[in-house]
């Protein structure tokens, strides 16, 4: 009985805190994306800019680690039984990638553009002592160019 109460409390806490954190994060992401809209980050290896106009080229990167909450993990483990899209993890990956991109852009400062952008993800603490500490890391990196007008 005690176990059940603990379980339900964790579930409720996970859902409430997880949803609140996610909403807040998405609001923040949307705001910053709008603010940094004029710093293009592209996956092409170079831009169509004459070489003599490039004043500096520097590697920039940003990473973000997002944790799974108790509710999402339960939802995912239920998905593990039935199969299908693990929808509860989709938003985690999305948030991690966008946050990493935003941090990369923040590191780029007053650059004109970031080229050759790559995003990589990895799971952290996947199987530590059988307890799944589900954390997802996304790292975004690229080359920030400052172009003379």
Query: Which residues bind to another protein, rule: CB under 8 A?
Result: 1-3, 15, 19, 33-34, 37-38, 40, 71-72, 74-75, 78-79, 81-82, 85, 87-88, 90-91, 93-94
> Could you write out the DSSP letters of every residue in 94-129?
HHHHHHHHHHHHHHHTT-SEEEEEEEEEEEESTTGG
Shortest Cβ distance from residue 58 to another protein (Å)? 21
- The DSSP code for 45 is S
**Which CB, 48 or 128, lies closer to another protein?**
48
Shortest Cβ distance from residue 87 to another protein (Å)? 4
Shortest Cβ distance from residue 126 to another protein (Å)? 22
**Helices first, then strands: H and E counts in the chain:** 3, 3
């Amino acid at each position: 009985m005690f176990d059940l109460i603990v379980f339900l409390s964790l579930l409720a806490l996970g859902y409430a805190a997880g949803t609140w954190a996610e909403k807040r994060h998405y609001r923040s992401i949307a705001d910053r994306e709008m603010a940094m809209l004029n710093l293009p980050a592209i996956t092409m290896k170079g831009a169509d800019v004459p070489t003599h106009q490039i004043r500096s080229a520097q590697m920039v990167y940003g990473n973000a680690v997002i944790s799974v909450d108790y509710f999402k993990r339960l939802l995912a483990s239920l998905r593990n039984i039935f199969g299908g899209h693990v929808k509860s993890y989709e938003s985690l990956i999305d948030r991690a990638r966008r946050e990493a991109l935003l941090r990369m852009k923040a590191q780029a400062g007053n650059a004109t553009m970031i080229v050759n952008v790559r995003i990589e993800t990895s799971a952290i603490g996947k199987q530590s002592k059988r307890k799944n500490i589900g954390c997802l890391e996304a790292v975004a990196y690229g080359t920030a160019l400052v172009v003379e007008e």
